[in-house]
Amino acid sequence: MHLDSTSHQQKLSTLPTISRQLQYMSAPVSELPEKNMEAVTSVFWDIRTCPVPPGCDHRRVGPCIKRFLGNKGYSGPLTITAIGSLTDFPRDFLEEVYSSGVSLHNAFGETAFVDTLDGLIIDFTFKNEPPANIMVISDGKYFTSKDSFKLESTGYTIMRSNTLPEVEDDLEVEEVETSESAFWICSVCDMDTPSQGFKSFINHVHSRQHQQELREWVAFESLGRE
């Protein structure tokens, strides 16, 4: 009632221009933010718990996620990020996924996805004011309804799926060579700046620096178990 009141709205109109997030938070509770299907969309994929089904062409993963969203009406700029302990996966698999336009975020351990997700979403909201769209693909309960409500109340559209959208085989291979849009980050080495090129990713994870950082992560985790 207070947020709907004339006095509150008059006070609000006299304040300096504020961010869109705060505008949404101060809006009357009965007014739900409108979706913007043309706004930027970021997909965060738990590659360990939502694997590509056996027999599917890994080069079709990115386009099939894009088609899935397109069928729901989302048409804005799209980024897809596979998150996990990526060096646990075969090189050929990662290269084909990367070639489909899916970025790689290398983290450490079985909890890599949950440990990384919050930071990536916070970074996304800093760079993209609402309305914008976030999709989380994970079969775990890592992204709670409480987290969703906080973001939705400030104008973001949240989508969750506990399975990877169906990887259809009716796309021509030529249509899925889109690695120019993909990037990679290695949080094992505390990297913040994205890099491009699958070969540079492979060179990094085999570098002396990465191997040293990885040994330190393993030692730290071992101490935590004692």
pLDDT of residue 204: 97
Identify which has the larger pLDDT, 173 or 209.
209
Query: Per-residue pLDDT tens for 94-111?
Result: 999 999 999 999 999 888
Q: What is the pLDDT of residue 85?
A: 95
Residue 9 belongs to a domain: no
pLDDT at position 28 over 60:
no
C-beta neighbour count of 221 within 10 angstroms: 13
Residue 152 within a domain: yes
Please count the structural domains in the chain: 1
First to last CA, the chain: 54
Beta bridge partners of 157: 133
In a domain, 13, yes or no: no
Q: Evaluate whether residue 32 is within a structural domain.
A: yes
Cα 139 from Cα 137, distance rounded (Å): 7
Whether the predicted pLDDT of 93 surpasses 90: yes
> Which parts of the chain fold into alpha helices (H)?
6-14, 20-26, 61-71, 91-99, 112-127, 145-152, 198-205, 208-225
Would you say residue 35 has pLDDT above 50?
A: yes
- Residue 29 in any domain: the answer is yes
Q: Is residue 2 part of a domain?
A: no
Print the domain residue range for 118.
19-225
pTM here? Answer: 0.81
Q: How many residues does the chain have?
A: 226
Name the percent of the chain lying above pLDDT 70: 82
